[in-house]
Structure 1
Amino acid sequence: MADAKLVTVSKPKVGGAVWRAPLGTTLPTDATAELDKAFKSLGYISEDGMTNANSPESDSIKAWGGDTVHTYQTEKPDTFQFQLIEALNAEVLKAVYRDDNVTGDLATGLTVKANAKEQQDACWVVETILNGDTVKRVVVPCAKITEIEDIVYKDDEALGYGVTISATPDSAGNTHYEYLKKGGA
């Protein structure tokens, strides 16, 4: 039987929805446990929210005459796309440009170096609130930024960094985990 109470929308958790920590940080294994102190908030993301692309890609083998006789999975990328809009947040800049390319702070002077160094893997957590006071936590054990959209400097638009992170499998073969708990918000 269909149940309209199970239909939901997703809102960011108050205090930050996207968190990042160095690879190897202890990961949460439920929806509500306190995050390890190594996780740093990346603050607000744009009103477009986050998009998770997690669809298998396939190919097929055809027999003489055109019949498809076998379909097989070629890959199953797991990516997350969002725009970080706290352009003055040092943790955002470290995520976008690499930890070792950002030094200082806003009060004394912040330096950001842009170069061709490969992005580093990290642990990521996204926390959302669903209908009915339900918490949903998405834990990505290992992912790195694999795409950065053009950075637009404009007087009527938030300066931000549209990023795509691509997850790679952990030791159990999983690219991300989702934990939900009613009453956890």
Structure 2
Amino acid sequence: MAANVNSAYVTAGKPKVGGAIFRAPLGTAVPTDAKTALDKAFKSLGYISDDGVKNENKIDTDDVKAWGGNTVASLLKEKTDKFEMTLIEALNVEVLKTVFGSSNVTGTLADKVTIKSNSAEAEDGIYVVETVLKGGYLKRLVIPVGQISDVGEVEYKDDAVIGYEITITAKPDGTENTHYEYIEKA
């Protein structure tokens, strides 16, 4: 029997020109396709490092064994859905608001930016990752309820750009989905 394979289905993702990572406050219209323009409430988080975006969509189960050793069931114990990326536009006020929380960042680059670092949790938001795939396809990842759950070390040195390595934990929305993926021909 011949294998049903097709190399045209093999693809790679590149960032969409003009921005690939966006954030908006909860309550903003959540995108439901890959092509419709984003609501004006979505703000670009600019360039990310060449490591791209990593998605850990992981399930953890407990196996139930019957007498004799056969596994007869795998019970869901935990499901996590996390996205990791490094934001490298360290002068982008929207990046700073994402990392430190909107209420902890004030001002503009034209005047003065003040950042307060404290234990206040950053607000949940809607995150969108826009990617261009091989063959002229667009892919949009939509995280309808995302929370910054981790910020990595920030290095200040003369041979590297300043970057904020963040982890966005995708929480279930009103229909228990943690993220959506839409693929359409451009």
TM class by shorter-chain length?
over 0.9
CA distance in 2 between partners of 1:64 and 1:180 (Å): 45
1:26 aligns to 2:29 (yes or no): yes
* 1:160 and 2:169 are equivalent in the alignment: no
Q: Does 1:172 align with 2:175?
A: yes
- The reply on whether 1:88 has 2:91 as its aligned counterpart is yes
Q: Cα distance 1:87–1:70, how it changes in 2: closer, same or farther (>3 A)? A: same
Q: What does residue 46 of structure 1 align with?
A: 49
CA distance in 2, matches of 1:55, 1:98: 27
Paired position in structure 1 for 2:58: 55
Determine the C-alpha separation between the residues in 2 that align with 1:54 and 1:141. 15
Instruction: Give secondary structure in 1 for the equivalent of 2:173.
Output: coil
Distance in 2 (CA, whole Å) between partners of 1:33 and 1:111 is 35
Name the aligned partner's letter for residue 183 of structure 2: L
Residues 108-123 of structure 1 mapped to structure 2, 5 A cutoff: 108-123=111-126
Asked if residue 11 in structure 1 is aligned to residue 14 in structure 2, the reply is yes
Q: d(CA) in 1 for partners of 2:144 and 2:150? A: 18
SS in 2 for 1:163: strand
* 1:19 Cα deviation from its structure 2 partner: 0.1
157-166 or 51-60, which moves further after superposition?
51-60
2: distance between equivalents of 1:26 and 1:69?
43
* Count of residue pairs the alignment pairs up: 183
Q: Which amino acid is 2:15 matched to?
A: P
TM-score (norm 2): 0.94
TM-score (norm 1): 0.94
Q: Is the 8 A contact 2:149 2:169 kept in 1?
A: yes
2:100 maps to 97
Map Cα deviations across residues 71-126 of structure 1 (whole Å, 9 max, x no partner). 21111111000000000000000000000000001111100000000121100000
Using the alignment, how far apart are the partners of 1:62 and 1:179 within structure 2? Answer: 38
Identity %: 54
